[in-house]
Amino acid sequence: MMKCEKITKELSCFPERFRRCNVYLLALADQSIVFDPSLAPDMVPDVAAVKTIYATHAHYDHISAVNAWKEEMPARPFIMHTGDIPMLEDTLANASVFFGRPETFCHPDRALQGGEELTLNDDFRMDVIHTPGHTMGSSCFLIKKQDGNRMAPLALLTGDTLFDCGWGRTDFVTGDDRLMRLSLESLYRLLKDLPAGLPVCPGHGGITTASQACRFLQASGFSS
Pairing relationship of beta strands 150-159 and 110-112 according to DSSP bridges: unpaired
What is the Cα–Cα distance from 183 to 222, expressed in whole angstroms? 9
Reference 201, options 170, 169, 171, 161; nearest CA is 161
For the cut 60, the answer to whether the pLDDT of residue 1 exceeds it is: no
For the cut 70, the answer to whether the pLDDT of residue 216 exceeds it is: yes
User: How many other C-beta atoms are found inside a 10 Å radius of the C-beta of residue 176?
Assistant: 15
What is the Cα–Cα distance from 90 to 107, expressed in whole angstroms? 12
Q: What is the pLDDT of residue 16?
A: 73
Question: Residues 148-152: what's their mean pLDDT?
Answer: 95
Instruction: Give yes or no for a contact between 164 and 212, defined as CB atoms under 8 angstroms apart.
Output: yes
Between the CA of residue 188 and those of 8, 141, 209, 219, what are the distances in Å?
A: 23, 15, 12, 11
**174 Rama class: left (phi>0) / alpha (psi -120 to 50) / beta:** left
Q: What are the pLDDT digits (tens) for 158-199? A: 999 999 999 999 999 999 999 999 999 999 999 999 999 999
Reference 23, options 208, 207, 203, 168; nearest CA is 203
pLDDT range class, residue 19, cuts 50, 70, 90:
low
What is the Cα–Cα distance from 187 to 180, expressed in whole angstroms? 10
Question: Residues 75-94: what's their mean pLDDT?
Answer: 97
Nearest-10 crossing angle of helices 177-191, 210-219: 130
Query: What are the chain's domains?
Result: 5-219 (3.60.15.10)
Global pTM reads 0.96
Q: Where are the alpha helices (DSSP H) in the chain?
A: 60-63, 66-72, 177-191, 210-219
pLDDT range class, residue 23, cuts 50, 70, 90:
very high
Give the amino acid at 157.
L
Pairing relationship of beta strands 124-130 and 139-147 according to DSSP bridges: antiparallel
Q: What percent of the chain has pLDDT over 90?
A: 93
pLDDT range class, residue 2, cuts 50, 70, 90:
low
Q: What percent of the chain has pLDDT over 70?
A: 98
Secondary structure of residue 167 in the 3-state scheme? strand
Instruction: Give yes or no for a contact between 185 and 223, defined as CB atoms under 8 angstroms apart.
Output: yes
Q: What is the pLDDT of residue 4?
A: 86
Q: What is the pLDDT of residue 141?
A: 98
- Residues in the chain, total: 224
Secondary structure of residue 22 in the 3-state scheme? strand
Secondary structure of residue 124 in the 3-state scheme? strand
For the cut 90, the answer to whether the pLDDT of residue 71 exceeds it is: yes
